[in-house]
Amino acid sequence: MKNPFRADMEKSSSERITSALFVVIVSLFFLLPIAWLFLAPFDGQPTYRLKLSDPSFNNFREMSQNPYAYRSLLNSAIFSAGTGLVIILIGAPAAYVLSRVKFKGRDVFLYFLLLFSSVVSGSAAMVPLFLLALRFNILDTYHGVIFILAGGLLPAAIFILKDFTDSLPRSYEESAKIFGASSYRILKDIVAPVIRPGLAVIFVWAFVQSWGNFLIPFIIIRDINKQPAAVMMYSFYTEAGDAVIRTVAAFGFLYTIPVLLMYFYVNRKYGFRFYGGIKG
Amino acid sequence: MSTVNIKGITKVFPNGVRALDDLDLEIRDGEFFALLGPSGCGKTTLLRTLGGLESATDGHILIDNNDVTRTSAGSRNVAMVFQDYALYPHMNVKENIEYPLKIRKYPKDERDRRVNMAAKALSIETLLDRKPGQISGGQQQRVAVARAMATTPNLYLFDEPLSNLDARLRLEARSFLKQLQRELGVTTILVTHDQSEALALADRMAVMELGKIRQVGSPVEFFHRPANIFVASFIGSTPMNLIEGVVEDKSLKIGDFKFALPPSVSKVANTGAKLTLGVRPEYVTIVKSSGPGVFSGKVKITENLGTHYLVLFDANETVVRGTVPDGVEPNIGDVVHFKPDPERMLFYDTNSGELI
């Protein structure tokens, strides 16, 4: 007997093959640069091609000749960790209050947080930010960059953390309160540990955002000893304007690794998901 | 062991909702007291006000004759078990039970002693190392009760502790709670919207509506003599028949049916007064023939309740519920005669809703 669905099935499987092929081609297109990032640093004669003809660590040796290379990676770490820390220290209490205290105009406030976090970008506010930094006398300082980066990321961080804190049942705090716990103890013993996965995710998010930020340190920092890796990368060019490909490859690799490791660590420990409380 | 006196408690929320309205209540020492009412009646607000989570707008709360109205939640020595149990997910069972004891700065050996005692009383010794997320709902509830118990409070407050359990477990937990309360002898206040739970557990209970108490009494009183139409319609697993009629010549006329009023009622109800007859379906039984004091009508629905049938029949546009024993149930469409037990008939003033 003839299966009336046969033709349909064949058609759908041929469609499936086409769409799979399309996905593979598109993925390859985006994967190539990433593959290059991991191969070129170990190639003795790196070009823009994807190859590993003469494996060696020469590129890293050559990069080390640059007196500012490692220093800039350390600077990046300082900027990123500092920003992450400021975001947690300010964002977590702010989110907690916004979640727990209902006041007039709270929803409008939250709406503006979201609006400003996505609409107003750093490049649009470049000039006023520079002038502000000048006035506050924080040009060319670590904390200057950290405050400006944190200021840009805080609205989104508060918004996400507030949502996360909302999912924490109030009964946790209330039961502790009835047992006689002070507000400080409730925060320390109950709230902070329960929302820790959320804090970790936000910290990493802020870290990565700052790590990749070029504009803010480029405007604020003058001293080359304080430049982060994202800006330093820009200096690995010859006077003719060509990239010094050996240095760029090696440096790019080192620049990528910390962020990748961080993602893996957090994903392993907490998973990139938000949860609060116990499901019964 | 404590008495609780609530005097004129009023709670008005900032949005203007009057959750508790000049409410008086006395709870005796060692009593298992249930607060019952539909959602939004203020029962949970009352419990939270007792626990100190809400501050009263007006009135006084006395625990053992000490005015605690303005004292902080932690200083009242009460323990509350929440509807969601409020177990801390990052602490294991032992740490959860121990946490209130840590807050109260008990030494380590005393904490261990109390944790073990509470765990033993609730048969959760084998779960002490588990996280709350790794144990069942029923076990979580026991842990929550153990945590409350370990603090040896003067007063237990239970906020719908059974509503998150499935039906079978709920019955089990119910008997268990009752037994535990008996053994501990500590005054316990339970909030529930489930009338069967209140009837089963409580020594005494109160029904609330719109921030006020409508009746206080023992479950037996509630079942047999609901003080008003609201309570009558709320209590009982099958709803009470509440049928409106008009007084005529010392009897209540409902459509074509007449029911003699007892002397205590006919004394105060004049001809023309509107009364509501209240009688439980359990006390409305089938009889052979019609006559005074008997409803007649066509059977609309029969429901099998196991040992007996609940029969809904239409007595000239009035729906009446009665019960018949298993085996003699009528068919749908049959004409039947049902007689309410005169001893069990209650008469309410239709306008005020109060029992006469």
Residues 6+ apart with CB under 8 A from A234: A214, A218
Q: Which tens digit of pLDDT belongs to each residue from A123-181? A: 778 888 899 899 999 999 999 999 999 988 898 899 889 988 888 899 999 999 999 99
| Cβ–Cβ gap A189/B99 under 8 Å | yes
Are residues A180 and B137, on separate chains, in Cβ contact within 8 Å?
no
Domain ranges of chain B: 4-234, 241-349
> Residue A242 pLDDT more than 60?
yes
- Tokens found for residue A28: 């390859």
Domain of A24 in residue numbering reads as: 4-56
CATH of the domain at A264: 1.10.3720.10
> Taking 50 as the threshold, does the pLDDT of residue A275 lie above it?
no
Q: Kindly report the nearest CA distance between residue A30 and chain B, in angstroms.
A: 41
| A179 with B74: Cβ contact below 8 A | yes
| Chains A & B: contacts with CB separation below 8 Å | 69
Is A179–B75 a contact, with Cβ atoms under 8 angstroms apart? Answer: no
Does residue B208 contact residue B222 with C-beta atoms inside 8 Å?
no
B147 alpha-carbon distance from chain centroid: 25
Say whether both A171 and A259 belong to one domain. Answer: yes
Tokens of B240: 């009470």
- Residues of B within 8 A of A174 (CB-CB) are 53, 80, 82, 86
Residues 162-201 of A with CB under 8 A from B: 169, 171-172, 174-181, 185, 189-190, 193-194, 196
Task: Compute mean pLDDT per 10 residues along chain B, 356 residues long, and list them.
Answer: 88 89 92 91 92 91 90 89 91 93 92 92 90 90 91 91 83 86 91 90 92 92 91 87 89 88 86 90 88 88 88 87 87 89 90 88
- Percentage of chain A beyond pLDDT 90 is 31
State the CATH class of domain B4-234. Answer: alpha beta
A171 and B83: CB-CB below 8 Å? Answer: yes
Nearest chain A CA: its distance from B218 CA (Å) = 29
C-alpha distances in angstroms, A272 versus A157, A199, A205, A267, A275?
15, 11, 11, 6, 10
> Do residues A244 and A220 both lie within one domain?
yes
Given strand B18-27, what is the order of strands in its sheet?
B18-27, B4-12, B58-63, B66-67
Chain B, window 116-135: residues with a beta carbon less than 8 angstroms from a chain A beta carbon: 132-133
| Beta-bridge partner residues of A151 | none
**Please, which residues have CB within 8 angstroms of residue B293's CB and are 6 or more apart in sequence?**
B258, B259, B260, B339, B340, B342
Q: Does residue A277 form part of some domain?
A: no
Sheet holding B308-315, edge to edge: B284-287, B335-340, B295-304, B308-315, B318-325
Cα pseudo-dihedral A128, A133, A135, A140, rounded to 10: -140
Is the Cβ pair A278, B89 closer than 8 Å?
A: yes
A161/A208 same-domain check: yes
Strands B32-36 and B204-209: parallel
**A115 and A192 fall within a common domain:** yes
β-bridge mates for residue B159, sequence order: B191
Which token pair is A76? 């990046």
Distance in angstroms (rounded) separating the CA atoms of residues B26 and B33? 10
Name the pTM for this structure: 0.78
- State the nearest Cα–Cα gap between A85 and chain B, in angstroms: 23
Contact B137 A181 (CB under 8 A): no
How far is the C-alpha of A83 from the C-alpha of A86, rounded, in Å?
5
Quote the CA–CA distance of A234 and A76 in Å, as a whole number: 14
Which amino acid makes up residue A262?
A: M
- Averaged pLDDT, A212-240: 87
What is the nearest CA distance from B72 to chain A, expressed in angstroms? Answer: 8
Pick the closest to residue B321 from B307, A11, B305 (CA basis): B305
Contact at 8 Å (CB) between B20 and B9? yes
From CA A59, how far away is CA A63, in angstroms rounded? 6
Say if residue A157 is in the same domain as residue A186.
Answer: yes
Residue-by-residue DSSP string for B142-158: HHHHHHHHHT--SEEEE
C-alpha–C-alpha distance, residues B192 and B200, integer Å = 12
* pLDDT for the residue A8: 53
A170-185: pLDDT as tens digits = 999 999 999 999 989 9
Same domain, A145 and A260: yes
Best A104, A179, A186 residue to mutate vs chain B (most B CBs within 10 Å): A179
pLDDT the model gives residue A263: 84
Closest CA of chain B from A51, distance in Å: 49
If DSSP codes are grouped into helix, strand and coil, which group holds residue A147? helix
Query: A204 with B106: CB under 8 angstroms?
Result: no
Verify that A130 and A199 share a domain, yes or no: yes
Q: Does residue A122 share a domain with residue A71?
A: yes
Measured in angstroms, the CA of B199 and the nearest CA of chain A are apart by 27
CB–CB of B132 and A278 under 8 A? yes
A45-49, A96-100, B109-113: segment of lowest average pLDDT: A45-49
Q: What is the mean pLDDT of chain A?
A: 85
What is the residue-wise DSSP string for B190-251? EEES-HHHHHHH-SEEEEEETTEEEEEE-HHHHHH--SBHHHHHHSSSSPPEEEEEEEETTE
| A278 within domain boundaries | no
Inter-chain touch A280–B88, beta carbons under 8 Å: no
Judging contacts by C-beta atoms under 8 Å, the chain B residues touching residue A191 are none
Q: Kindly give, in sequence order, each residue whose CB lies less than 8 Å from that of residue B147, ignoring residues fewer than 6 positions away.
A: B79, B87, B96, B97, B99, B100, B118
Nearest CA in chain A to B155: A178
Q: At what angle do helices A192-211 and A245-269 cross, to 10 degrees?
A: 170
Of B149, B251, B130, B235, residue with least CA distance to B192: B235
B340 part of contact set with chain A, CB < 8 Å: no
Q: Do B79 and A190 touch (CB under 8 A)?
A: no
Q: Which of A14-28, A240-254, B145-159 has the lowest mean pLDDT?
A: A240-254
Q: Does B100 touch chain A (CB under 8 A)?
A: yes
Same domain (yes/no): A149, A22: no
In order of B92, B240, B254, B331, the CA distances from B336 in angstroms are 62, 19, 17, 10
pLDDT tens by residue, A61-87: 888 888 888 899 999 999 999 999 999
Q: How far is A106 from chain B (nearest CA, A)?
A: 15
CA dihedral B230, B235, B237, B240 (to 10 degrees): -50
Determine contact, residues A49/A268, Cβ cutoff 8 Å: no
What's the rounded mean pLDDT across residues A243-271?
Answer: 85
Q: In sequence order, what are the beta bridge partners of B248?
A: B251
Structural element, H or E, at residue B332: none
Mean pLDDT to the nearest integer, A25-33: 91
Number of domains in chain A: 2
CB atoms within 10 A of CB B57: 14
B241-349 adopts what CATH topology?
OB fold (Dihydrolipoamide Acetyltransferase, E2P) (2.40.50)
**Structure tokens that stand for B42 in this block:** 């203020």
Q: Are residues A22 and A150 in the same domain?
A: no
Q: Which of B104, B137, B140 sits opposite A180 (nearest CB)?
A: B104
Q: Are B298 and B355 in contact (CB under 8 A)?
A: no
In chain A, residues with a C-beta closer than 8 Å to the C-beta of B79 are 178-179
**Whole-complex ipTM:** 0.81
Decide if B52 and A178 are in contact by the 8 Å CB cutoff.
yes
Give the model's pLDDT for residue B80. 92
> What residue of B is the nearest CA neighbor of A102?
B14
The minimal CB distance from A171 to the residues B52, B86, B90 is found for B86
B153 vs A129, A179, A274, B146, B191, CA distance in Å? 58, 10, 36, 12, 18
Q: Which of A169, A172, A181 is facing B103, going by the closest CB pair?
A: A181
